[in-house]
Structure 1
Amino acid sequence: MHAQNKIASRRYHLRIYKACFVGTDAVDWLIQTRHAHTRDEAIASMRILQDHLVIHHVCDEHVFKDEYLFYRFRRDDDSYTCYKDLKSFYRGQCLSQRLHNKREVLRDIHANGQLYRSSFLGCDLVEWLVDNNEAFSREYAIKYCKKLMENDIIKHVTDDFRFRDDRLIYQFTIDFSQPYLLCDISRFRRTLSERSSSGTGSDTTDTGINQEISTSHSTISDDEFCTPCKPNIKDDVSNSEQKSDTHIQQPQSVLLRHMTAEELEDPDTPYVKHKVRVFCDSVGYGFVIRGEGPVYIQIVDPEGPAVAAGLKVRQYLHSVNGVNVLRKDHRTVAKMIIENPGFVNLVIMTHKRDTFS
């Protein structure tokens, strides 16, 4: 918009508003340049930018409208500096652009049979920031990079580690060198929504859950799993008849990577703690656990009390009623939960990629 002179000083009621654009002109320009297909789509996309404080009405009195109203990019009046998240985003964008041709830092990296494109090592970025006077010390550079990671500007390639001054591999979450259309912003929002709703166990059928619940108080071998749920009475007979000649199939783990108790206790762990209270209904608590220290949630009944309390698959159990269970096996943890008559207090650990406001 700057390059095509859509941003300019404008006068209204004897007052001059610098570096602004007109709502109607912006909608026309977005359609002409194929940033949007319809006027409604253009308005909706600009309002997303306004919601995220990228643009604002010059007097902060109107949402974006297809009318003769003046709006401004916060980057043009430096008001973005009042918002830490937006400031961090622009700093990340600037850093990405500066590193674009620095192949000694940003490059394709092979590791463990995988190719990670446009990636960088944490120690390389820290060193570059110091050498180029972007940070006056390695400690400050590390703090700066951690802030970028907290704001989802950079990420560990497998989301398993926070930022470290080490030979861990990281990437920018957005390819800032890629030209985008404004209508892409709706796709980014949908992707975020889908990520925030992942891990609910909605792809598990009620039948499968009932079959697993019915075995919770049966004799379980070392490679099977148990559940902190009361048995389903209607399945007891059929299961007991089959137990003698049919081995229970172990389901595939839902974990993306198995974490150790030490990794979860590390101050730099990407997992955050939450306290929840789960009430027991006539069937049970409504979730299945696995693991041999730490224990994690394998299945959540989409209609049970656990999902109502906020439990999701891939969460780790940190404590049960105030007792640390990171190094206990699933049988011990299940017994601790089942012994509670009406409700259980849990501290769960959720990966930051699955935690959204």
Structure 2
Amino acid sequence: MAAQQKVETLIAGEQLRLKLHDEKVIKDRRYHLRTYPNCFIAQELLDWLVSHKEAPDRATAVCLMQQLMDHNIVHHVCDKRLIFKDAKLLYRFRKDDGTFPFNTEMKVFMHGQRLYEHITGDNNSILELREELGVSYHRSFPGCQLIDWLLQNSEAESRRQGLELCCALQEHGIIQHVAKQHDFFDSGLLYQFCINFRRRRRLSELLNKNDEETTASIQEENHPDSPFCLHKSPPLEGNSAFQSGNKNIPPFKTLFTFLNFTCEELLTPSAPFTKRVLTVIGDALGWGFVIRGVAPCYVQAVDPGSPAAAAGVKVRQFVCQVNGKCVLYLDYRTVTRLVMTGPRTVELEKLILFPVLDHWG
């Protein structure tokens, strides 16, 4: 899953790069008497992403571009910034300045893309409707036939080399067994390309896939054996730098109810919550609080000596807004990025449950 997600991100990034070139968003820029070729200004790009409906708002657009930075697709022209900022800063696609990391993984990906284009464009394509164990599969091919094709088109010098290439393609999520039950073999077993390189990707798909991974991550973190699980008793004093709850633990039913409030329930006038705006001024170490949850998010832990603690942030408070933007419907990773990519001073609007759970903080 991780390999396929990375491939999808690379494809989406490349499609975006080509479109930005076509629309002249990427061009030579002059700054401080120096010309930077093939660059874009972050603010202009975010305007373009929102206006072309690649992102619903600027904050989401920043998150999308941060993903491209995290995958080494985009970078600041001087490589001085690791966080994508909504500012008049120059960024560039690594493919445009020759700094793209062509490691083994990238070579396999590009080889797979080239093979896909060649095979799908062949008049006598090996991709056909075939049957395995009574089930029909569209655009499938036997493993041995793909190796034959590689040999005939000089993509491999021997069957062994062809087999190694096909195994690498499967390992990196480019091809797979039709029923996902077998590794690649030079045999009559059927395989398919599991990536359509020609399909137009929307950048928003990257966040959708991450949301699925986030949900799985949250389930794992809320497992009873997880050290961050809110269902467990808090650590003894002195054993942790973070406060994860009050000593007087509420009953499990109360905790379960807290974690299962929906966004709509939080926003109803009759909801047992009070809103409070807190201003947290980060220091050299950050802000000092941990957010978890998927729509809505809540504060899971607070460093007792941090700026967050000084501002009054406490555990088990729902996060409603960050710097004036509603974040109730966002997952914790997106909210965290909003905080990290914003100003050093963060304004948080929190929903605080009362009176039953008021002793939580």
- Structure 1 unaligned regions, length at least 5: 203-357
- 1:269-318 deviation per Cα after TM superposition (whole angstroms, max 9, x unaligned): xxxxxxxxxxxxxxxxxxxxxxxxxxxxxxxxxxxxxxxxxxxxxxxxxx
- 1:162-182 deviation per Cα after TM superposition (whole angstroms, max 9, x unaligned): 222222222223222221211
Aligned partner of residue 92 in structure 1, secondary structure: helix
Aligned partner of residue 142 in structure 1, secondary structure: helix
Are 2:42 and 1:28 equivalent residues in the alignment?
A: no
Report the TM-score, using the length of structure 2 for normalisation: 0.50
| 1:47-196 equivalences in 2 (<5 Å) | 47-62=66-81, 63-102=83-122, 104-192=125-213
CA distance in 2, matches of 1:124, 1:145: 11
Equivalent position amino acid for 1:33 in 2: H
Equivalent position amino acid for 1:17 in 2: Y
Once the 2 structures are TM-superposed, how far is the Cα of residue 192 of structure 1 from its aligned partner?
4.7
Equivalent position amino acid for 1:116 in 2: Y
Matched residue pairs, number? 201
CA distance in 2, matches of 1:77, 1:163: 36
- 1:102-160 deviation per Cα after TM superposition (whole angstroms, max 9, x unaligned): 35222332222323223222222222222222223322222222222222222222222
Relative distance call for 1:106 and 1:56 in structure 2 (3 A) is farther
Equivalent position amino acid for 2:98 in 1: D
Equivalent position amino acid for 2:63 in 1: A
CA distance in 2, matches of 1:90, 1:52: 15
Aligned partner of residue 31 in structure 1, secondary structure: helix
Are 2:24 and 1:5 equivalent residues in the alignment?
A: yes
* Equivalent residue number for residue 43 of structure 1: 62
Relative distance call for 1:163 and 1:132 in structure 2 (3 A) is same
| 1:254-269 equivalences in 2 (<5 Å) | none
Equivalent position amino acid for 1:137 in 2: S
* Equivalent residue number for residue 276 of structure 2: none
Equivalent position amino acid for 1:86 in 2: M
* Equivalent residue number for residue 14 of structure 2: none
Once the 2 structures are TM-superposed, how far is the Cα of residue 191 of structure 1 from its aligned partner?
3.9
Aligned partner of residue 21 in structure 2, secondary structure: coil
CA distance in 1, matches of 2:88, 2:44: 8
Once the 2 structures are TM-superposed, how far is the Cα of residue 38 of structure 1 from its aligned partner?
0.8
CA contact (8 A) 1:53 1:86 kept: no
CA contact (8 A) 1:100 1:177 kept: no
CA distance in 1, matches of 2:163, 2:98: 26
CA distance in 2, matches of 1:199, 1:170: 32
Aligned partner of residue 26 in structure 1, secondary structure: helix
Equivalent position amino acid for 1:99 in 2: I
Relative distance call for 1:2 and 1:98 in structure 2 (3 A) is farther
Relative distance call for 1:94 and 1:193 in structure 2 (3 A) is farther
CA distance in 2, matches of 1:140, 1:80: 26
Relative distance call for 1:23 and 1:84 in structure 2 (3 A) is farther
CA distance in 1, matches of 2:107, 2:78: 21
Relative distance call for 1:33 and 1:82 in structure 2 (3 A) is same
Relative distance call for 1:65 and 1:199 in structure 2 (3 A) is closer
CA distance in 2, matches of 1:130, 1:192: 39
* Equivalent residue number for residue 206 of structure 1: none
CA distance in 2, matches of 1:194, 1:157: 27
Once the 2 structures are TM-superposed, how far is the Cα of residue 68 of structure 1 from its aligned partner?
1.7
CA distance in 1, matches of 2:119, 2:213: 26
Task: Report the identity percentage.
Answer: 36
CA distance in 1, matches of 2:157, 2:173: 23
CA distance in 2, matches of 1:191, 1:109: 32
Relative distance call for 1:135 and 1:17 in structure 2 (3 A) is farther
| 1:204-243 equivalences in 2 (<5 Å) | none
Once the 2 structures are TM-superposed, how far is the Cα of residue 84 of structure 1 from its aligned partner?
2.9
